[in-house]
């Protein structure tokens, strides 16, 4: 074996070099830091889409595959069938005590009050999806036409009637000639509207009195929208199973991922969101870090 003799002046340096190096800090994936881990909260559903939370804390889930609305208890177990016979239902929304459900094949909006017969609003909305309460007209309803990429409005009638009337002209629309692709809608208290644009991979924003403009881009088939109790906007991406929070500049921060075909999203409480996975038949639960919302 050949031996190498080092000069005396270099011995200390060589011994230091030969000593085991201190372990380097583990690399931190900044992109995933602070993300929540989604857990399966409910399973075995027939293409779940719309989600709505009742006053008692129970959750109503729209099953697009079965045409039903089912009630889940606090553990995510099915407790009752609230409505059935719906025509390819999608999104759902409570306005007061009334549950509204968009029916894609019926070009209609169903009106459901548990324990009473199902009825429908008068007026046709082509391929309806997202629903939002009109922030400026109590009792009013905003509906997204997926096929036409416009927002239609059902205006409240006289208080004694409690009926909603479909306004003949679109409440809001995109650029001239834009067709197909809008999905969900969220309405802030000041009247600002947000919609998801499946085709454009974006969230559009419309300030009061303004026009829709791209606010957040580069999203993978954006689907559901919801505002947190603090007014922060959350969006699901069906293309990659993600839930993201959008900052005031429209920049997306991934909150959770791995949720299949993430469709709709709703806040269960101040820190807990539910996300429907229409392909996996699952509703996921996402608990935000204490400082998040």
Percent residues over pLDDT 70 in the chain: 86
Residue 1 located in a structural domain: no
- 167-172: average pLDDT: 95
Residue 273 located in a structural domain: yes
97-145 tens-digit pLDDT:
899 999 999 999 999 997 889 999 999 999 999 999 999 999 999 999 9
Residue 245 located in a structural domain: yes
Nearest to 86 by CA among 52, 111, 58, 116: 111
CATH of residue 150's domain is 2.120.10.30
Residue 274 located in a structural domain: yes
Residue 105 located in a structural domain: yes
Taking 90 as the threshold, does the pLDDT of residue 189 lie above it? yes
Distance between CA atoms of residues 268 and 274, nearest Å? 7
Q: Return the pLDDT at 162.
A: 58
Taking 70 as the threshold, does the pLDDT of residue 11 lie above it? no
Range of the domain at 258: 37-154+177-287
Q: Return the pLDDT at 34.
A: 76
- The values of phi and psi at residue 181, to 5°, are 125, -20
Alpha helices in 35-165 (DSSP H): none
Task: Output the pTM of the full model.
Answer: 0.86
Taking 50 as the threshold, does the pLDDT of residue 246 lie above it? yes
Residue 10 located in a structural domain: no
Residue 159 located in a structural domain: no
Q: Roughly how many angstroms between the first and final C-alpha of the chain, as a whole number?
A: 66
Residue 57 located in a structural domain: yes
Beta partners for 285? 39, 274
Percent residues over pLDDT 90 in the chain: 79
Of 1 and 94, the structure prediction assigns the larger pLDDT to 94
**Number of domain units in the chain:** 1
Q: Return the pLDDT at 164.
A: 93
- 216-223: average pLDDT: 98
Average pLDDT, the chain: 88
């Amino acid at each position: 074996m050949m031996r190498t003799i080092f000069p005396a002046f270099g011995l200390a340096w060589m011994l230091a070099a030969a000593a085991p190096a201190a372990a380097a800090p583990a690399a931190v994936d900044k992109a995933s830091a602070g993300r929540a881990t989604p857990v399966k909260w409910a399973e075995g559903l027939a293409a779940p889409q719309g989600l709505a939370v009742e006053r008692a804390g129970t959750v109503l889930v729209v099953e697009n595959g079965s045409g039903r609305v089912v009630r889940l208890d606090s553990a995510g177990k099915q407790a009752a069938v609230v409505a059935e016979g719906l025509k390819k239902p999608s999104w759902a929304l409570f306005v007061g005590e009334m549950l509204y459900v968009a029916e894609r094949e019926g070009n209609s909006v169903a009106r459901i009050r548990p324990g009473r017969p199902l009825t429908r609003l008068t007026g046709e909305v082509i391929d309806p999806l997202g629903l939002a309460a009109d922030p400026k007209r109590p009792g009013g309803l905003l509906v997204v036409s997926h096929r036409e990429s416009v927002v239609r409005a059902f205006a409240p009638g006289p208080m004694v009637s409690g009926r909603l009337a479909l306004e003949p002209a679109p409440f809001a629309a995109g650029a001239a000639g834009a067709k197909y692709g809008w999905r969900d809608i969220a309405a802030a208290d000041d009247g600002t509207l947000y919609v998801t644009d499946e085709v454009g991979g974006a969230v559009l924003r419309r300030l009061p009195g303004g026009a829709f403009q791209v606010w957040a881009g580069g999203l993978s088939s954006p689907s559901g929208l919801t505002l947190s109790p603090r007014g922060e906007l959350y969006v699901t991406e069906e293309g990659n199973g993600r839930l993201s929070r959008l900052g005031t500049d429209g920049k997306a921060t991934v909150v959770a991922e791995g949720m299949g075909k993430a469709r709709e999203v709703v806040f269960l409480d101040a820190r807990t969101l539910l996300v429907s996975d229409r392909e996996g038949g699952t509703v996921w639960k996402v608990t935000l870090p204490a400082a998040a919302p």
